[in-house]
Amino acid sequence: MTSFAILLLLAMHLLAVVFWVGGMAFAYTMLRPAAVGLEPPARLPLWRRVFARFLPWVGVSIVALLVSGFGMIFLVFGGFKGLPLFIHIMTGLGLLMMLLYLHLVFAPWKRFREAVDRNAFPEAAKRLNQIRIIVGINLMLGVITIVVGGTGRYWGL
């Protein structure tokens, strides 16, 4: 029973990671260069619609990551005492990514949305640039965290 619960938690963890980090990678490396040629009145509302769909699902992924991550800490490792180093690093980087996400949602995303809705495109472009920087940082942190989480069991630390 416990091992089935661990399998479910690990599957949930991995799917949430793939959705969040994969979604950021797609936005940053595919959609952004593809949208660059569009005029601001087409490009900025497009990004508004993209993030209006993506960000709530990232919120769901974060809840899934926290439940599955801390669930595995208890079920696999029996609590926080004597945890391997990579789990500490993964948890620290994961929490940092989550704080950046919360900042993005409550500051630049809120202002970007309001600016697009008022057709204030220069202001919206400024906010979108802040969103791009935060997503870029979170994408790099996400890639590092995946490597840490996936390789850590072989570190012997």
Residues near ligand HEM (CB under 6 A) are 13, 17, 21, 65-66, 69-70, 72-73, 76, 87, 90-91, 94-95, 97, 142, 145-146, 149-150, 153
Q: Measured at the alpha carbon of residue 25, what is the angle toward residues 144 and 145, in degrees to the nearest 5?
A: 15
Distance CA 81, CA 74 (A): 10
* Residue placing its CB nearer to ligand HEM in the complex, 45 or 152: 152
Q: In the complex, what is the shortest distance from the CB of residue 123 to ligand HEM, in angstroms, rounded to a whole number? A: 32
Helix axes 121-151, 2-26, angle to 10 degrees: 140
Q: In the complex, what is the shortest distance from the CB of residue 150 to ligand HEM, in angstroms, rounded to a whole number? A: 4
Distance CA 133, CA 17 (A): 20
Q: In the complex, what is the shortest distance from the CB of residue 148 to ligand HEM, in angstroms, rounded to a whole number? A: 7
Q: In the complex, what is the shortest distance from the CB of residue 13 to ligand HEM, in angstroms, rounded to a whole number? A: 5
At position 93, the amino acid (one-letter code) is: L
* Residue placing its CB nearer to ligand HEM in the complex, 80 or 106: 80
CA distances from 128 to 42, 72, 112, 145, 156 (A): 14, 36, 6, 25, 42
* Residue placing its CB nearer to ligand HEM in the complex, 111 or 145: 145
* Residue placing its CB nearer to ligand HEM in the complex, 29 or 119: 29
